[in-house]
Copies of this chain bind each other. A is one copy, B any other.
């Protein structure tokens, strides 16, 4: 049963799902939806997701959207290498860490929001970048505080198991770097990011090594 991931190199949400597929050793085919050409608004993609957002994952006749629900689906369907802790407390902590990225910081920096700042309020490119950095820096501070004060010691965000939280937090750092946000005050976040990116599953999923990404 083929898995098809509709994604694009610069989509941080696609990056999370791509890394999850790699961590689980699942074969998939990626279909590129070129956001820079507006392909997400074309009729073919509209049929897949009327929100015009990436990623979309197709499997066994299902069409799934939203990165965290997709990752939870993968985890439930292929539980061998689990991306969630075994205990309810741990799952709550991991999911909350992930949401600092996916529900607090990332929604504010996506292209549709930056574009609307321009069209509604005349914000220029420099202003849009400053806006993005503001929210990414707040997210970075919140994540680092959580890792430092509420942490379960280990190599990754929650002990020595790679979880949903690492997928989200690494995507946060990759995004922060794209926007040249400030990561200097986040040593714990940076350390777990480097550990993850040293793994092939994350390295092969990185936005900057995908088809269509700009040369270094």
A→B interface (CB under 8 Å):
50-51, 53, 62-66, 68-70, 72-73, 76-77, 88-89, 91-93, 95-96, 99-100, 102-104, 106-108, 113, 116-117, 120-121, 123, 127, 130-131, 134, 141-142, 145-146, 149-150
Q: List 16 A-B contacts (CB under 8 A).
A: A50-B145, A62-B89, A64-B93, A65-B96, A66-B103, A68-B103, A69-B99, A72-B92, A73-B91, A76-B88, A99-B103, A102-B103, A103-B103, A103-B107, A107-B108, A108-B108
Question: What are the nearest 3 A-B pairs in CB distance?
Answer: A69-B95, A107-B107, A73-B92
- Are B68's CB and A91's CB within 8 A? no
Copies in the complex: 2
Q: Which residue of B lies closest to A13 (CB)?
A: B103
* A105 CB to nearest B CB, Å: 9
